């Protein structure tokens, strides 16, 4: 479900936050679904539980999850939040498209690249 990239310059907790947001936005993690406990996810990923706790805190602060004392963390059902996440992703695509345009990469090559991604098997 979550794969860490140790060559990524972002902190591990940010990678976890990004992956969880993607799983929630894509519907893989459903509304009100219980997330793995901090301890179990830390063991699965072989990282410090404080890192997971920081990621969960950030997800809760940004509205993707909610916690229930003594029960754990759960996925929040919020359509507006999903739309915001999609807009962030589209903004990132626009930024990359501008970079491609500025580097004089032909539009057809960019579209072929995007089409290839859409035809890949989801991870």
What is the average pLDDT value for the chain, to the nearest integer? 92
Rounded-to-integer distance, Cα 94 and Cα 88, Å: 10
Model-level pTM greater than 0.95? no
The average pLDDT across 44-56 equals 96
Instruction: Give the mean pLDDT of 14-36.
Output: 91
Predicted confidence (pLDDT) at residue 21 exceeds the cutoff of 70: yes
CATH class held by domain 12-77: mainly alpha
- Spell out the domain ranges in the chain: 12-77, 80-119
**Spatial separation of the C-alpha atoms in residues 11 and 101, rounded to whole Å:** 30
- Is the model's pLDDT at 123 over the cut of 70? no
How many angstroms separate the CA atoms of 97 and 110, rounded?
8
Residues in contact with 17: Cβ distance below 8 Å, sequence separation at least 6, in sequence order = 55, 58, 59, 62
pLDDT at 79 over 80: no
């Amino acid at each position: 479900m979550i794969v860490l990239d140790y060559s990524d310059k972002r902190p591990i907790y940010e990678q976890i936050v990004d992956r969880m947001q993607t799983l929630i936005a894509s519907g893989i993690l459903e509304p009100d679904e219980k997330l793995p406990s901090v301890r179990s996810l830390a063991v699965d990923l072989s990282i410090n539980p404080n890192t997971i706790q920081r990621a969960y805190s950030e997800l809760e602060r940004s509205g993707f999850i909610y916690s229930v004392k003594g029960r754990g963390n759960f996925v929040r059902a919020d359509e507006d939040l999903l739309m915001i996440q999609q807009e962030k992703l589209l903004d990132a695509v626009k930024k990359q498209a501008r970079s491609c345009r500025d580097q004089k990469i032909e539009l057809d090559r960019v579209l072929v690249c995007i089409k290839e991604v859409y035809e890949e098997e989801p991870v």
